[in-house]
Structure 1
């Protein structure tokens, strides 16, 4: 039975948009924690840990996100670990975000002027104190435009969750489109919702980058 595009269908899209927001938020927050750990490991003095973190980054940056989601969703049950689509997507996006944010933040940590760390050493500050109180606050501030830019990409990347059956905004658009036979209108609404979320973040990232460039 063909349905008309009405209030109920729009509610379905808005509900799925809420899940898209939740998924992006969880992946970004957990990915930020993981990324910070990777960035610190990559800049540490422990060679074995540095190489392990570098391998992690190479794997998750060098393979498609869609493939990573497939491996987690279909691979974990082979290890007798059953996960639903929501958990699988959250894990996949978190690992993906950890790799990219870890590399973004590592590059800004490495870009810090060496004189500041040398001055901190001269004052007798230990490695942890130098990192927490001197290096990280400045490095993360420098990385803010790139971090916000990655968040935009992560939000759009949540659309791949539809492939393994999780009903986020893109999947909801497919469902409503199949029910109403109005794909142009439905996906115009879907695109408008993505745009309403991503464009302000992209604009914010651009302004931050321009402000920091002017400050330098």
Structure 2
């Protein structure tokens, strides 16, 4: 029973970190996309460079920079908040690229047809382009969300008591590492299954609406 409580506590931290980082990334990705696709090179190029740098640096290094670098050198920051900031920043850069890829997948003829019908930019985006782009983005976003959930394991290196951290603590306490980490792996699988199922349901629903 005690081990179950420990695992459930780690599961809660993993879910909170995954969801929080994803929400930050989904929100941050929108202005990054706007800057990334801006016609002004002065805005577009620095944003592109920033996105590439964010994505190139390993997640664990971002967590070290924020927690040990910023947190210990300038102002205190909790391990969870440091992990949330680091993974949220990475998620923002990745979501901006997912958004951009989805928009690019919509044929330019859609924009041209809307312009010919004299539809406003907002109506074009909301009623025509966005549903098609969203359908393209959903599978990629779901895959990224599952990957983000697995990336939260790096938060154990700065002391966040998520699944990997709890598994490591229990394996050292019980000397039953194989069993402990098999259970941890099972928890990760159980977390990913609802995401995959919801992705398929949302994709099917959007396909039916777009096809009409």
Query: Which of the five TM-score ranges fits, normalised by the shorter chain?
Result: 0.7 to 0.9
Residue number in structure 2 paired with 1:119: 113
Correspondences of 1:23-102 after superposition (within 5 Å): 23-77=17-71, 80-102=74-96
Cα distance change, pair 39–202 in 1 and its aligned pair in 2 (3 A): same
1:103 paired with 2:92, answer: no
Contact 1:40 1:106 in 2 (8 A): no
**Whole-Å Cα distance in 1 between the matches of residues 47 and 132 of structure 2?**
22
Tell me the TM-score normalised to structure 1 length.
0.86
Contact 1:162 1:168 in 2 (8 A): yes
Which of 127, 130, 153 is residue 136 of structure 1 equivalent to? 130
**Whole-Å Cα distance in 2 between the matches of residues 23 and 190 of structure 1?**
16
User: Gaps (5+ residues) in structure 2?
Assistant: none
Tell me the TM-score normalised to structure 2 length.
0.87
2:155 match: secondary structure: helix
**Whole-Å Cα distance in 1 between the matches of residues 38 and 85 of structure 2?**
26
Q: Runs in 1 of length 4+ with deviation above 6 angstroms?
A: 206-213
Which of 178, 183, 187 is residue 184 of structure 1 equivalent to? 178
TM superposition shift of 1:133: 4.1
TM superposition shift of 1:152: 0.4
TM superposition shift of 1:157: 0.3
Q: How many residues align?
A: 209
Cα distance change, pair 79–121 in 1 and its aligned pair in 2 (3 A): farther
192-201 or 171-180: bigger deviation: 192-201
**Whole-Å Cα distance in 1 between the matches of residues 3 and 58 of structure 2?**
32
Root-mean-square deviation over aligned CA pairs: 2.5
Contact 1:73 1:164 in 2 (8 A): yes
TM superposition shift of 1:48: 2.1
